Amino acid sequence: MTKREIAGTLAGLIAGSGGVLALPTATPVSIEKLAAQQQTTLSRTGKFEHVRGKNYTVHEYVTPKGERGFQIIYSDSVATYSVGYGPEAESRSWVRLNPPALTATST
């Protein structure tokens, strides 16, 4: 699967959930809300804020040219997802499926 296909799959997952991804926590995380908070922080402080939640993290990156962006990484029981924003958004957007649980077929 190419990075573009992964990004498309991820975008479809987000769009299909209305931008709200239900994580295995009591409160769902809104990708759009986190992204909006990052943009507000950038305009106020000149950089993005590193945020860590129970099942997600937001980190800032700076390219060699000094351009800033961030990515939101979160996970559920199926996969770990990354949504990139900024100049490296495409390469920082991906989905990694969790390996299946192994069970013995006989004892």
Residue 105: count other Cβ atoms within 10 Å of its Cβ: 4
pLDDT at 22: 47
Whole-structure pTM over 0.75, yes or no? no
Number of folded domains in the chain?
1
Q: Report the alpha-carbon distance of residue 29 to residue 65 in Å, rounded.
A: 31
pLDDT confidence of residue 24 = 40
70 in Cβ contact with 54 (< 8 Å) = no
Q: What is the pLDDT of residue 6?
A: 52
| pLDDT at residue 75, as a whole number | 85
- The number of residues making up the chain comes to 107
Of 73, 67, 74, 11, which Cα lies nearest the Cα of 42?
Answer: 67
23 part of a folded domain:
yes
pLDDT at 23: 43
* 104 occurs within a structural domain: no
Residue 106 lies in a domain: no
**In 1-107, where does DSSP find H-type helix?**
3-16, 31-45
Question: Is 41 a domain residue?
Answer: yes
What pLDDT score was predicted for residue 46?
86
Do the domain assignments include residue 29?
Answer: yes
Domain span holding position 40: 3-97
- Residue 64 CA, chain-centre distance (Å), reads 22
Does residue 103 sit within a domain?
no
Quick check: 97 and 107 in contact, CB under 8 A? no
For residue 44, tell me if it sits in a domain.
yes
- Determine the Cα–Cα distance for residues 76 and 98; give it in Å rounded to an integer: 9
> Is residue 91 situated within a structural domain?
yes
**pLDDT averaged over consecutive 10-residue blocks of the chain (107 residues)?**
53 53 48 85 86 85 92 87 91 88 73
